[in-house]
Amino acid sequence: MKILDKIVEDKKIELKNLSSKIPVSLLEKRSLFSRQCISLKNSILNSPSGIICEFKRKSPSNNNINYETSIIDVIKGYQNAGAVGVSILTNKKYFDGDISDIIETREILDIPILRKEFIVSEYQVIEAKSIGSDAILLIASILKSEEISRLSSLAKSLDLEVLVEIHSFDELKKISSDDIDIIGVNNRDLDTLEVDIMNSEKLFDKIPDQFVKISESGISKVESILRLREIGYQGFLIGENFMKTSDPMISAYNFIKKVENEI
């Protein structure tokens, strides 16, 4: 079984148990459920760098990315570095994330939080709103076209923005909803875990201009950002490049400032 299929299978089992313990009615009573979201789309468009910084402890391809720095310190550092938003993984089994990571950092941030999770149900969308997320990630490779439409429509009704992640033109063709704000091209093949930044170059012109376009994964050089910006990308999601260093906050600051100085 491919790793992505395994992650989704495990997530569905987890959701059955979770939804029986904490029903939607309780999620909707959480204090953060009523907060007004911050627009990730606008934050990207109004930024010179467009860089979203990600917090990630581990991944299926790297079991020890960073366990030395606290999420509070890293997230604060990302905001101070000039990030347009932060991406926080909440998948426990494969990334050692948790919804508490978003709850704990929400009150110290003035920039939007993208909940990065393998979302396959309405429950997760409502949960994302209840923990203080501003945007959700939908992965096209694990969802049918009608599921993308249904989940994005629910998200927009809750004031959440939607980032749909694609890796191929076939996945792009699944998108037919006007409820999507951002399309992200993942340079990492989620089946093989191999990275090729050329994937973003190949798919750019195929993405309708109604969407904000961002490139994700495998971005480690300022030159790559400048090249992708020249093509037309407005945002960039960077995770391991910062997290694998001893000081992600300083790494992000130095990188973002170099990008801003080159623009």
The whole-angstrom separation of Cα 260 and Cα 47 is: 9
Angle at 7 between CA 66 and CA 184, to 5 degrees: 75
Catalytic residue (one of 127, 161, 165, 171): 165
> How does DSSP assign 48-63, residue by residue?
SS-EEEEE-S-BTTBS
Please state the φ and ψ torsions of residue 160, each to the nearest 5 degrees.
-90, 145
Catalytic residue (one of 11, 41, 56, 213): 56
Look up 186 and say whether it is catalytic. Answer: yes
Look up 217 and say whether it is catalytic. Answer: yes
Catalytic residue (one of 11, 41, 47, 54): 54
Look up 54 and say whether it is catalytic. Answer: yes
Catalytic residue (one of 66, 217, 241, 251): 217
Catalytic residue (one of 117, 127, 171, 216): 216
Dig out the tokens for 50 from the structure.
């467009």
The b-or-e profile of 63-84 (16+ CB within 10 A means b, else e) is eebbeebebeebbbbbbebbbb
Look up 216 and say whether it is catalytic. Answer: yes
Catalytic residue (one of 43, 152, 177, 186): 186
Catalytic residue (one of 41, 116, 174, 213): 116
> How does DSSP assign 93-162, residue by residue?
HHH---HHHHHHHHTT-SS-EEEE----SHHHHHHHHHTT-SEEEEEGGGS-HHHHHHHHHHHHHTT-EE
Look up 116 and say whether it is catalytic. Answer: yes
Which residues are catalytically annotated?
Answer: 54, 56, 116, 165, 186, 216-217
